Amino acid sequence: MRIRDILRRKGGAVATVRPEATVRQLLAVLAEHNIGAVVVSPDGASIAGIVSERDVVRRMHERGAALLDRPVSDIMTAEVRSCGPADKVEDLRRTMTEHRIRHVPVLEDGRLTGIVSIGDVVKSAIDELQSEREHLVDYIQNVP
């Protein structure tokens, strides 16, 4: 299975915020879309960073409520691992596990075309196992 298969099922919409948006504005986007991470992008197509609920919680613990009025660029992760639509889901699963990453932006020709979460990856694995199970049951039931 490829990343494009996941995006085909879930769509390519990606919530983004500009680097100068405040953490308060970031929280509004997370709540509005019921998501755990947002790509930080100056133009909606390129990636400046990524920021998650965890980033907010950890920095809030360190810096207090004043963080809410600081720019997202203060707390984002600037080194973002990304993948492409043709990449294998199995490879992404390994990367996400090894590096403890929950959200990976998808780039095609240098442009943001989607985002894949660990939940998407787990769901694809479950779907593959279910499909294999159905094929095996069908095979066993039809053996002469």
**pLDDT tens per residue across span 98-119:** 999 999 999 999 999 999 999 9
**109: phi > 0 → left, psi -120 to 50 → alpha, else beta; which?**
left
* pLDDT of 39: 97
Average pLDDT over all residues of the chain:
92
Q: What's the CA gap between 37 and 24, in Å, rounded?
A: 14
Q: pTM of the predicted model, to two decimals?
A: 0.84
Question: How far is Cα 4 from Cα 17, in angstroms, rounded to an integer?
Answer: 24
What band does 22 get if pLDDT is binned at 50, 70 and 90? Answer: very high
